[in-house]
Amino acid sequence: KVAPKRWVCTTKNTRRTVLLWPHEISSERQKQLARSGSSKPTKNWSRKECIVQQECSTYDAANAAINGLLAQRSSSHTSIPISSELSSKKSNQISQQNRQTLQIANLIGSNSEESLPPSTVQSSPDEKKSIHASLKSMLESLIAKHEGVDTKIIQIENQNRHIIERNGLIEKDNFDMMEELVSIQKMYESVICQQLEATESLIENTLFSFDPLETIEQLIELDNKLKDESFRADMVTWLNLNVVGNKSKRRMASCLDLIFSWELQTNLLWSGTSRKGLKKHPVKHHKSILKLFKTIGATP
């Protein structure tokens, strides 16, 4: 027979060559399909083991080649005498078998082989089991991968939800912190304003002024005035506004310069008598002035 190349396949296990043939249609239609070479075998085509004798480039060339082979075999059969009817029957059987299995169509069409679907070749039971097991394994692997992807998607969604929740908490904390900072700033500004107002009010309301003492008489007069609580309060307020420093010694030294002039300070001693016997005015007897120094020195 003459058949296109795509009508011939090789089984996987036995590696035998098999011819697929459209036996259900008419012989004329079979020749038309074989000549066109465009039809693909289907499941209902017959399958017979064959031997490829020759490959040709066209259908006509293949048909001529097979006719030549048939002519050669016909001439060889006529030259051999037949001895008996048994020999003739046997020869006919062999000839028929040869036509079915040996005189297979020479191939035409595409030079590249085209594989048939697995369904066109009959598989053995072991092969079917192997294919079934392989497909089952592939299916289980795909299902496992799909489940793994679903798990990953769920994990990613949970992570995204957690991130969104954390971002919401962070935004809320930032909002609360901003409100707290605004509140603290308002409180700070209020305290500063109160202090400024108190200072301005104190300065505006304080009409008290004091010039450093220059004589002993002024010193005695100041000591007597400090016995008046109102005068003493004004004096303390004025000194607190003008004294310099935070430590007691520094504040009392500054207070000394504010109350006594340099000339008067040179004429004053604590006890009134120096080591050399020099006599000066004693400060220890002026209790009100000493109490004033103690108040200013103790006030930070």
Segment 211-248, tens digit of pLDDT? 999 999 999 999 999 999 999 999 999 999 899 888 88
Contact 41, 116 (CB under 8 A): yes
- The torsion region of residue 37 among left (phi > 0), alpha (psi -120 to 50) and beta comes to left
Q: Which long-range contacts (CB under 8 A, 24 or more apart) does 198-202 make?
A: 202/237, 202/241
- The CA–CA distances, whole Å, from 66 to 36, 81, 106, 144 equal 18, 25, 7, 56
Segment 131-186, tens digit of pLDDT? 888 888 888 888 888 888 888 898 898 989 889 988 999 988 889 999 888 999 88
Q: How many CB atoms are closer than 10 A to CB 182?
A: 10
pLDDT of the residue at 138: 87
């971002």: which residue's tokens? 167
The pTM of this model reads 0.34
Average pLDDT over residues 13-27: 88
DSSP 47: E
Q: Is the pLDDT of residue 105 over 80?
A: no
pLDDT of the residue at 77: 58
Share of the chain above pLDDT 90, in %: 25
Q: Is the pLDDT of residue 203 over 90?
A: no
């309060």: which residue's tokens? 233
């001529």: which residue's tokens? 64
Average pLDDT over residues 113-124: 43
Tokens of 40: 């693909």
Segment 61-104, tens digit of pLDDT? 888 888 888 887 777 655 444 444 444 444 444 344 433 333 34
Nearest alpha carbon to residue 43 among 20, 17, 73: 20
pLDDT of the residue at 231: 93
Segment 254-279, tens digit of pLDDT? 999 999 999 999 999 888 887 787 88
């103690």: which residue's tokens? 294
- Secondary structure class of 8 (helix, strand, coil): strand
- Secondary structure class of 6 (helix, strand, coil): helix
pLDDT of the residue at 109: 37
pLDDT of the residue at 117: 42
Q: How far apart are CA 281 and CA 273, in angstroms?
A: 8
